[in-house]
Amino acid sequence: MVPVETPTFEPSAPEPAARASAQSLWSRVEALLPDVQKPARYVGGEEGARSPVHGEGRVAWLLCYPDTYEIGLPNQGLQILYELLNDRDDALAERSYAPWVDMESAMRADGVPLFSVENHLPARAFDVLAFNVSAELVYTNVLNMIDLAGLPVRSSSRDPGDPLVVAGGHCVFNPEPLADFVDAFVVGEGEEVVGEVNELLAAHLPTRSASDREDLLHALARIPGVYVPSLFLPCYEDGRLVALEPLPGVPAVVEKRTVADLGQWPYPRRQLVPITEVVHDRLNVEVFRGCTRGCRFCQAGMITRPVRERPADQVRTMVEEGLCRTGYEEVALTSLSTADYSGIEQLVRDVIGDPRHEGRVSVSLPSLRVDAFTVGTAAEIQRVRRTGLTFAPEGGTWRMRKVINKLISEEDLYSAVDAAFSQGWRRVKLYFLIGLPTERDEDVIAIAELGARCVEIGRRYHRAVTVVASVGGFVPKPQTPFQWASQDTAEELCRKIALIRGAARGVRGLTIRWHDPEASVAEGIASRGDRRVGAVVERVWRAGGTFQEWSEQFDLGLWDDALAAEGLTLGDVVHRSRDRDECLPWGHISAGLHPDFLWGDWLEALEGGAVEDCRWTPCYDCGACTGFGLEHVVASPRPPAGGSQGTGQDLEHGGRVPVHLVGARR
């Protein structure tokens, strides 16, 4: 194991009253800014930002995003919690983002700890450091920010007066690689549970004794959706995890939190407007959560069930108020598959045609289903300006798409591409995965063939078109039917990329791009590992491996060396399949899906079977609704284009068959 080292910053743990009177670090921070890239990352003061006043009786939260400002600021989850906490009388929240390597170096050299961007207070002036972890390769940044805060990176070494370190986000559906560093994880959606956690902290934090901290951790573990890793003990035999045992009185399974009615949570009401360029720099309005298309590789679709659509009138209100407040001229209607919103065409028409901003505001749908994209939708989107279009067929052949349950035929894809090009688009991006279970070389080569055919369609309308086929390596994610699958090696992924490039050679207008296969392998380590991988993450961090999401910073060699130092191999963690009875590192975390459902879907995938969207077909008893007393909530009783109500797709021939035949498998 990695020895615990002395943190960089060791200020004495302040008492609650001292926390409230902590001095701003602004003058010291400002002195560093002339010598770093993008100093605007660190100054705050955005439209929509708060200036909270610290004081007794208020739990102080530092919401931490473990990536740069331009990546973290648009994050909707962080912005929602920021508003909810600051609207409470017993809480306040400020923000912190990972300093880029130049700023980190300057901070360490000058002894400046991690700080908030609102009041530029040191991280130790807060009661809670709350991390949003939405990508596995930011784990080393989490450790780096904890260290910059002046805390021991391992939770077992912290003092009673140290801030509590918590984490949430999609990645915590396998929390074990971060279990040694995080005091508590919040699993699922945070709108309701953050208030429950805050009330508990408000009652416990004033005492700050060692025994009270233990009592606090046990009390947190009793809140539904909260996982306290120190209260679970891993057991290993012959180098394999065989059990994760809870201490007495601790629930053995942590169930995710789910907001039943999205309409009750119209947040963020005051979206932050950045003072420098950021990704997704536009008004973002969430139209629904959850996805029941059942893509077997998609962790987000599995863990966010059931579908809950926001009422259309509320969406229109949020768009109008947001545009007036922010001054944006582009609005993104966000979800996992926005074209599946049951009233999407009318909604887009209403937003673009609103006389208060007609001809000025454009709409983008960042998540598009090929079979739910119509000429009508395309025509509405491009009325003001043509925003980017990305479709995700994922697999190169119909056989492969049945395996992954991405039920998109070639005709669906060509129809969507034709609709786009016919309405004036000249560039379309397609996204594919390689390394999928049962994949054959012909499935891989077919990716280039699909791209070439799309170029041909575009040339019916324009002399010069561009089709970009972007290829990523498949990572078998926890809480999905593919969680038992093995993952391709980097060498095998490179071989398959070469096949695609060779098949695309000479096709004018077709561009092949790909995600670094080595980064996919590292992602597999971080997403599929048990608690022992935490020591690997720590070694990578101590070797300088921060910002592993960034190509210029990523280094698989650091991960290889760390695995070897901990007595692990890529074969142990990544490149092997799992058995049905194997203890999975995330088995004690429930996304609401029955294990039998996931295993049955995995077996069906291996047989090439597929199922349709359960919003419009009979229930498959996955557990996401029935286990929580919830149900799908849609804004319109009519399915969107591409939905199925009363009929289902013939999974063998692409025709139409009665829906009861599709649902008869369970």
- The backbone torsions φ and ψ at residue 390, rounded to the nearest 5 degrees and listed phi first, read -130, 125
pLDDT at 382: 73
pLDDT in tens, 31-68: 999 999 999 999 999 999 999 999 999 999 999 999 99
The residues of the chain scoring below 50 in pLDDT are: 1-7, 10-17, 641-666
Report in angstroms the alpha-carbon separations of 621 from 480, 596, 598, 651: 15, 10, 11, 20
CA distance 155 to 185: 13
- Backbone phi, then psi, for 589, in 5-degree steps? -105, 125
- CATH fold of 16-233 reads Rossmann fold (3.40.50)
**Which residue, 217, 140, 121, is CA-closest to 181?**
140
Q: What is the pLDDT of residue 626?
A: 72
330, β-bridge pairs? 362
- The predicted-structure confidence for 79-129, as pLDDT tens digits, reads as follows 999 999 999 999 999 999 999 999 999 999 999 999 999 999 999 999 999
Structure token pair of residue 437? 């279970």
User: For residues 232 and 245, is the Cβ–Cβ distance under 8 A?
Assistant: yes
| Euclidean distance between the first and the last CA atom of the chain, given in angstroms as a whole number | 46
> In this structure, are residues 566 and 532 in contact, taking their beta carbons and an 8 Å threshold?
yes
The pLDDT score that the predictor gives to residue 357 is 79
pLDDT at 208: 66
Q: Virtual CA dihedral for 451, 457, 458, 464, nearest 10 degrees? A: 80
Please tell me the distance from the alpha carbon of residue 111 to that of residue 115, in angstroms, as a whole number.
12
Four-point Cα dihedral 617, 618, 623, 628, nearest 10: 90
The Cα–Cα gap between 342 and 345 comes to: 9
Sequence spans of domains, the chain: 16-233
Query: What's the pTM value of the predicted model, to 2 decimals?
Result: 0.92
